[in-house]
Amino acid sequence: MEEDEAEMYDGMRGHFPLAFGKQSKPQTSIESIHKATRRPTTATATATANNEKNLPSSSQSLSDINKDFPSLSSTSKSWLDSLKNPNPNPNLASDAVIGPPRPSFALDSVNGGEDEDVIIGPPRPPPPASDDEDQMIGPPRPAAVDEDDDGEMIGPPRPAAVDEEDDGEMIGPLRPPLDSRLDDSDAEEDSDAGEENVYRIPLSNEIVLKGHTKVVSALAVDHSGSRVLSGSYDYTVRMYDFQGMNARLQSFRQLEPSEGHQVRTLSWSPTSDRFLCVTGSAQAKIYDRDGLTLGEFVKGDMYIRDLKNTKGHISGLTCGEWHPKTKETILTSSEDGSLRIWDVNDFKSQKQVIKPKLARPGRTPVTTCAWDREGKRIAGGIGDGSIQIWSLKPGWGSRPDVHVQNGHSDDITGLKFSSDGRILLSRSFDGSLKVWDLRQMKDPLRVFDDLHNHYAQTNIAFSPDEQLFLTGTSVERDSTIGGLLCFYDRTKLELVSRVGISPTCSVVQCAWHPKLNQILVTAGDKSQGGTHILYDPSQSDRGALVCVARAPRKKSVDDFVAQPVIHNPHALPLFRDQPSRKRQREKILKDPMKSHKPELPITGPGHGGRVGTTKGSLLTQYLLKQGGLIKETWMEEDPREAILKYADVAAKDPKFIAPAYAETQPEPLFAKSDSEDEEK
């Protein structure tokens, strides 16, 4: 009997496919995931700039457009649109995506194999009946494939062959131009793209780490590239972990090192187990890798004139950096005009105090500081525009080994040594970036101007191979160009590329991590701030690739946590203790009605008892006083006249002492008033 049932089951099972009844999770390709974070290509930026300026593509060259309107990230646009429009229209696809969009999948069993592409972002409207792809709203999808083809497309979608007159009808990201439309500008574009490919700058994709409400002024990435620190003018430090972060890109910890003080510098230790936090206060703090406070350096006595005799800084800090080789040594600079070297194991005293050389006696702030690659030299940017370098050697003091008196015309915001110790880069408020040869520091090798800078934390960074160096620019008032990231060739000393980060926010800090091969850029203004991470899926490793591909966990019933309501029985009137008699007596004494407090005595002369002591405790008193029936004449009467009106009475009827001197007393003579005011 059992064998017959087995044969019947096998016979029925043969009429169904093998996949019947099995539910498989839809698989999302890595290429499809990174399409949502892809930055527009140079050609797309050119077409977008032409559309916004209402110019044809042939009327302006690609180089001019790149100078006036660099490419802008789609994630930055969506982020800014969401900030400008807090209640977006859900029907618009462009407003529906904020940050990395959530994926939605098209199953083969539902669509019948016609469209197997993975849709990233909001749902798009159904396609028209025709095969013309220019009428589609949203990102273009690939053409339908046969059943035997898997339908997965790697890379951006291929354009469809359309006529010239249909160009520009597509709403959403523009597709690259066809080979038939190539002209001189496209050839120029290919040459520019070829130059960027030579330097292998990872610029194809971008994500934004949000969370700050003001400009992000400090940035630090540990040496392994797993954790990112960002500090802001909103007084907070946020910690991001790529390994534990999903596509929502949320920080796992938020700190406020010093209440009411801006965060200015963050720096990891060489072993990445601790980090230094420098704020606008006079005391730097040390935290462990998880954000727990390990210690705070001591503050000096502000009444001591000589800074070498103080135990610490006496004014706000400006910059700080961990020693590149020694994990117990850090360097800080301050507005009090000194640099100090500290031992992390002893928070109560410093190892060395460095006072820069000044043209005039006084206190000039030290705006920035930096170690060289080996930790044998220290560079400091002084408030008078000078650059001073000290070499760490036995018996060294505060006298600098290199002193460039007129390095910049304004405060220096950033200094950076090259790893070979030959090049020094300096960035300043005067809108310039200077390249110095450390062997000959009289004149800079090259000066790059027109780099607007409004933040004291704007820095410079090298590429991993140090063939390029990069810096950010600030947004000018009434300017159409936003914050830019500029790349320069170290050998040729010329501008290589300019990348648009945000149309309204200034670029402050930048870093190019060697292990991740990703560029981190901080930007923001008075109302927003974020850390932009530029990467390329084909060149970068880990970092942003890990968290973007990790979808957020769906909410489950198990995630529901009931908020219990706690009732305190002693708070009810039934169980409340009776107040003590002493407190009852004190409360009754404070009440004038219950205590029968007597009226206060009269502080001045009155008329008819208490009448007229106040200006209106009773209506009758007020009316009598205002009507003149109660009149205090003694306050308006002349004292001399008040005495003289009793002169005749005293002469006719003297009393007491006057009769004893009646024979010898001379006759009194009273002076007559000469003033008309006194007569009146």
pLDDT tens-digit readout, 563-616: 888 877 777 777 777 778 888 888 888 887 888 777 776 666 555 555 545 554
pLDDT at 99: 43
End-to-end CA distance of the chain: 142
Between CA 94 and CA 81 the distance in angstroms is 9
Enumerate the domain spans of the chain. Answer: 27-144, 202-551
Q: Do residues 421 and 372 make contact, with C-beta atoms less than 8 angstroms apart?
A: yes
Q: What is the pLDDT of residue 578?
A: 74
Tens of pLDDT, residue by residue over 25-63, are 555 666 777 787 888 754 344 333 334 333 333 333 333
Average pLDDT over residues 3-9: 63
pLDDT band at 676, cuts 50/70/90?
Answer: low
Q: What are the tens digits of pLDDT across the range 234-286?
A: 999 999 999 888 888 899 999 999 999 999 999 999 999 999 999 999 999 99
The model's confidence at residue 77, banded by pLDDT at 50, 70 and 90, is low
Tally helices (H) and strands (E) across the chain. Answer: 15, 30
In our burial notation (b when 16+ CB lie closer than 10 A, e otherwise), range 145-156 reads beeeeebebeeb
pTM, 2 dp: 0.61
| Average pLDDT over every residue of 115-132 | 44
What is the per-residue pLDDT for 138? 43
pLDDT, mean over the chain: 75
Tell me, what amino acid is at 12? M
Q: What confidence category does residue 81 fall into, taking pLDDT thresholds of 50, 70 and 90?
A: low
Query: How far apart (Å, rounded) are the C-alpha atoms in residues 380 and 424?
Result: 12
Q: Distance between CA atoms of 117 and 108, rounded to whole angstroms?
A: 10
Structure confidence at residue 594 (pLDDT): 83
Closest to 452 measured CA to CA, from 414, 507, 412: 507
Which has more confidence, 28 or 168?
28
Q: How far apart are CA 427 and CA 663, in angstroms?
A: 104
* Mean pLDDT to the nearest integer, 108-123: 40
CA nearest 530: which of 304, 240, 311, 327?
240
The number of C-alpha atoms within 13 Å of 523 and in the hemisphere containing its C-beta is: 27
Is 90 exceeded by the pLDDT of residue 675?
no
Question: How many residues does the structure list for the chain?
Answer: 680
Q: How many CB atoms lie within 10 A of CB 608?
A: 9
**Residues with Cβ within 8 Å of residue 632, at least 6 apart in sequence:** 605, 612
Query: Which residues in 445-461 are b (16+ Cβ under 10 Å) and which e?
Result: eeebeebbbbbbbbbbb
| Average pLDDT rounded to a whole number, residues 619-624 | 68
The per-residue pLDDT for 561 is: 81
Residues 267, 247: contact at Cβ < 8 Å?
no
Say which residues have a Cβ less than 8 Å from residue 676's Cβ, sequence separation at least 6: none
Contact status, residue 419 vs residue 373, Cβ threshold 8 Å: yes
The confidence score (pLDDT) of residue 654 equals: 78
* Interval 508-524 mean pLDDT: 94
The per-residue pLDDT for 109 is 36
Task: Find the mean pLDDT for residues 191-218.
Answer: 80
What does DSSP assign to residue 577?
Answer: P
* Lowest-confidence segment of 20-34, 275-289, 541-555, 649-663 by average pLDDT: 20-34
Residue 234: CB atoms within 10 Å: 18
* 3 state DSSP class of 227: strand
**pLDDT tens digit sequence for 417-457:** 999 989 999 999 999 999 999 999 889 999 999 999 999 99
CATH code of 202-551, in short, is 2.130.10.10
